[in-house]
C-alpha cells in the first residue's frame, strides 16, 4: 500500500476577482494516509474550502489552480482527463458540504437521488439501485420508510445524513467534509461526527474542514492549521492540542466555539487579512503579540520537528 492516499504538493489557487487577485491557497502541501482522519482548521476566509475543492476539481472561474500537484492513489488529479476524473469523483472521492442542499435536489425524492449514484456509476437498473439506496440510507441511520421523502420533509440533521449517504454510497477511499456540522445544533453535530467516524473505522480517509479546533481535536489523527492561505502548523492531533507551537493555533485553542462560526476569535485581536494584499513577512504578524522585526520582514517557512511542523519565527521547541 502506498504511504499516502492523497498528496497535495505546493498548491497555489487564485481568484481573479474584478477587485484584485485573491491568493486563496498559497503553496500549501498536505498528505493524507490511508484510513486517516485529518482536519483542516482555521477562521473563515483562510482558504480551507478552496484547498478542499481543488482536490475535487470544483474550482471554477474566477478561481484557478495556478500551480502544484495533487496525487491521489497514484494518479495526478490535475492532469487526468475530464472523463477519467468523472470516474474518480463520487466513486473514489466523496464530498459533503456545509449545506446539504448544495448536493440535494429539492424537487426529487431522496431515494431516487441516492439510487442515481448507483445507476450512473455502476450502471445498475432502477430496482436494484433503490435496494442499494435503502441499504445505505439505513447505514447512515435513516429508517427505510424515508426513501420516498423529499428533502424538505426532513430535519437539517437528516438531510446531512442523506448527503453523506450519497457521498459514501460507492465507498470512496477519501471523504472530504467541508464544515458538515456547522449549521446543526451541537447534539446533532455530535451524531454526525460519530457517523463520519464510523466510516473511518471501515477504512475511509477523512479530510474534515472546520473553524472549530476543539471539534477537530476530538476525532482527528492529525490537524493542519491554515491561516491566510498558508499552512501554519501541522501535526498529530494530540501534539497540536497539548503543545501548539504557532501563536495562531494557541489562540484558536483558547477561543470559545460558537455555534454559528466565530466571526472573531476572542483571544486573538482583529481578523484574517484581505488575501488580495496580505501583510508582508508572516501574515499573522499584525495580530500576533510575539511579533518582532523578523516577523514583519521575512516570511517564515514550515519547519518540522519530527511529525510536528510549524511556520513561525518565534516557535520554540520543548
The 8-class DSSP code of residue 102 comes to: G
| Start-to-end C-alpha separation, the chain | 34
Assess 49 for contact with Mg ion (CB under 5 A): yes
Residues forming a β-bridge with 10: none
Bond into 284 cis (ω within 30): no
Assess 255 for contact with Mg ion (CB under 5 A): no
- Sign of the alpha-carbon dihedral angle for 279, 282, 288, 290: negative
Three-point CA angle 242, 245, 248, nearest 5°: 105
Q: State the minimum distance, in angstroms, from the CB of residue 177 to ligand ADP.
A: 13
Instruction: Output 44 or 243, the one with its CB closest to ligand ADP.
Output: 44
Assess 54 for contact with Mg ion (CB under 5 A): no
Please choose which of Mg ion, ligand ADP, none residue 102 contacts, taking the beta carbon within 5 to 8 angstroms, the exact cut-off set by kind: none
Grid cell at residue 134: 435503502
Number of C-alpha atoms within 13 angstroms, CB side, residue 163?
28
Binding site residues, ligand ADP, CB under 6 A? 15, 17, 22, 24, 42, 44-50, 62-63, 275
Please choose which of ligand ADP, Mg ion, none residue 50 contacts, taking the beta carbon within 5 to 8 angstroms, the exact cut-off set by kind: ligand ADP
Q: State the minimum distance, in angstroms, from the CB of residue 45 to Mg ion.
A: 8
Please choose which of ligand ADP, Mg ion, none residue 45 contacts, taking the beta carbon within 5 to 8 angstroms, the exact cut-off set by kind: ligand ADP
Q: State the minimum distance, in angstroms, from the CB of residue 242 to ligand ADP.
A: 25
Instruction: Output 15 or 37, the one with its CB closest to ligand ADP.
Output: 15
Pairing of the two strands 303-305 and 308-310: antiparallel
Pairing of the two strands 174-178 and 205-210: parallel
Q: State the minimum distance, in angstroms, from the CB of residue 6 to ligand ADP.
A: 18
Assess 39 for contact with Mg ion (CB under 5 A): no
Residues of the shown chain interacting with Mg ion in the complex, contacts defined by CB under 5 A: 49
Amino acid at each position: 500500500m502506498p504511504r499516502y492516499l492523497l498528496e497535495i504538493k505546493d498548491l497555489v489557487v487564485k481568484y481573479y476577482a474584478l477587485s484584485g487577485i485573491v491568493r486563496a491557497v498559497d503553496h500549501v502541501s498536505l498528505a493524507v494516509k490511508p484510513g486517516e482522519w485529518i482536519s483542516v482548521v482555521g477562521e473563515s476566509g483562510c482558504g480551507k474550502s478552496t484547498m478542499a475543492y481543488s482536490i475535487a476539481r470544483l474550482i471554477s472561474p474566477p478561481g484557478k489552480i495556478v500551480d502544484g500537484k495533487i496525487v491521489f492513489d497514484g494518479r495526478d488529479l490535475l492532469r487526468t482527463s475530464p472523463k477519467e476524473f468523472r470516474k474518480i469523483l463520487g466513486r473514489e472521492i466523496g464530498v459533503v458540504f456545509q449545506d446539504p442542499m448544495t448536493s440535494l435536489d429539492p424537487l426529487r425524492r431522496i431515494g431516487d437521488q441516492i439510487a442515481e449514484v448507483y445507476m450512473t456509476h455502476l450502471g445498475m437498473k432502477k430496482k436494484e439501485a433503490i435496494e442499494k439506496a435503502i441499504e445505505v440510507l439505513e447505514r447512515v441511520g435513516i429508517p427505510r420508510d424515508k426513501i420516498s421523502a423529499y428533502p424538505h420533509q426532513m430535519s437539517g440533521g437528516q438531510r446531512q445524513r442523506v448527503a453523506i449517504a450519497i457521498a459514501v454510497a460507492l465507498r470512496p477511499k477519501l471523504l472530504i467534509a467541508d464544515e458538515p456540522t456547522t449549521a446543526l445544533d451541537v447534539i446533532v453535530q455530535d451524531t454526525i461526527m460519530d457517523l463520519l467516524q464510523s466510516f473511518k473505522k471501515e477504512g475511509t480517509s477523512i479530510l474534515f474542514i472546520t473553524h472549530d479546533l476543539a471539534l477537530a481535536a476530538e476525532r482527528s489523527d492529525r490537524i493542519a492549521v491554515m491561516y491566510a492561505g498558508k499552512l501554519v502548523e501541522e501535526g498529530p492531533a494530540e501534539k497540536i492540542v497539548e503543545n501548539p507551537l504557532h501563536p495562531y493555533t494557541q489562540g484558536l485553542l483558547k477561543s470559545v466555539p460558537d455555534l454559528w462560526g466565530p466571526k472573531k476569535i476572542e483571544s486573538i485581536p482583529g481578523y484574517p487579512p484581505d488575501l488580495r494584499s496580505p501583510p508582508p513577512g508572516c501574515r499573522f504578524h499584525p495580530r500576533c503579540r510575539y511579533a518582532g522585526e523578523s516577523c514583519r520582514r521575512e516570511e517564515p517557512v514550515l519547519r518540522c520537528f519530527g511529525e510536528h511542523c510549524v511556520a513561525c519565527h518565534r516557535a520554540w521547541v520543548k
